[in-house]
Chain A
Amino acid sequence: MSIIKNIKFIIPLSVLFFLLLLLWHELFYSKQNELTSSLIGENIPSFHLDNLFLGPALTEQELNGQVSLLNFWATWCYACGLEQDMLLKIKNQYHVAIYGIDYKDNDVDAKNWLKKSGNPYVKVGKDINGEAAVDLGIYGTPETFVINKKGQIIYRHIGVIDQQTWDEVLYPLIKKYQQENISA
């Protein structure tokens, strides 16, 4: 009888302890913006997107040969406006090529937006029906991929790029991959 009494006391307590442990872990150690993508380390899925401006289409092949950023954005996306200054800074100060994919947007709005706030992109492709976004596993805008010289995805950043993210995560990674020998 005493064993059963003990078990009755221990089981709820251990369940409670386990749940608290789980909550504590989620509260302090989970990374909110981290979503798994098995595309890391693989070649970018192929895409062929019409240029927002006059000129040839944007394809995945264009991203080969340099470490670059592939940024999904849209004018209807509030958060995209928040990272615009940082993207311009990356272009002008850090000289990293940024390719843009304008996600489900209106051409006129997109052109006006880039004219007004500055164009950080080497080239902008239009993903009108969101097909390229699904191929790359996009949840929403803004989302940015770091692409190495071989055209492989090496990192995925969900959300706005701010100075801290750039200094602590993206730029160190880019510098590391810039030194990488393409034939290696």
Chain B
Amino acid sequence: MKKIILLLICITNFFLAYATANPIVSPDTYAFASTQDAERFTALTQEIRCVVCQNQNLAESNAPLANDLRNKIYFLVTEKKSNQEIKTYLVKRYGEFILLRPPFKYTTFLLWFFPLLGLVVAAFLIQQFFRRQNSML
């Protein structure tokens, strides 16, 4: 029972931390012609990594370079460039690691599959553990 409570506390904390990681820049700082553009800007800044403070996205970072990149994204959004065009522009200059959600391809398959593999191994080990416990009873 104690373990279950502990697990629940961990899960709650995780989601609380996730929910409180608010963007420091509200989209209101930038003026957009349409709500669609504003939404695009918000989504893009949350998906692009701040390259000088690598564990933050652009929306959360107040580093000067993050600010410049936000301005550039704002400019490109108002220029009606598509999300893909904006991402291509950034990847070309800062490499693929600027994307917080890396594309699925042969160089990244390990990145995508390793957690799944870990889950399978963990499930197998847990199953073995319970089987052994049952056999001991």
- For A130, what are the chain B residues with a Cβ–Cβ distance below 8 Å? 64-65, 68
Question: Which stretch of A53-61, A132-140, A166-174 is in the interface?
Answer: A132-140
Residues of chain B with a CB closer than 8 A to A106's CB: none
Contact B68 A134 (CB under 8 A): yes
Main secondary structure of the interface of B (DSSP, over half): helix
- A131-B68 in contact (CB<8A): yes
Cβ of B51 and Cβ of A133 under 8 Å apart?
Answer: no
Q: Does A112 contact B (CB under 8 A)?
A: no
**Interface residue B72 (Cβ < 8 Å from any Cβ of A):** yes
Task: Indicate if A104 sits at the interface (CB-CB under 8 A).
Answer: yes
Contact of B64 among A36, A104, A131 (CB under 8 A): A104
Number of A-B contacts (CB under 8 A): 43
Q: Which residue of chain A lies nearest to B72 when distances are taken between CB atoms in the complex?
A: A134
- Tell me the count of chain A residues lying within 8 A, CB to CB, of chain B: 19
Interface residues on B, range: 10 to 19
**Interface residues of chain A: helix, strand, loop or mixed (majority):** loop
CA distance A134 to B96 in the complex (A): 15
Which partner residue on chain A sits nearest B51 by CB separation? A139
Q: Evaluate whether A8 and B68 lie within 8 angstroms (CB atoms) in the complex, with A134-B93, A137-B94 already known.
A: no
Inter-chain contacts of B52 with A (CB < 8 A):
139-140
Within 8 A of B (CB), among A33-49: 35-39
Spell out B's residues near A (CB within 8 Å).
51-52, 64-65, 68-69, 71-72, 91-96, 121, 125, 128
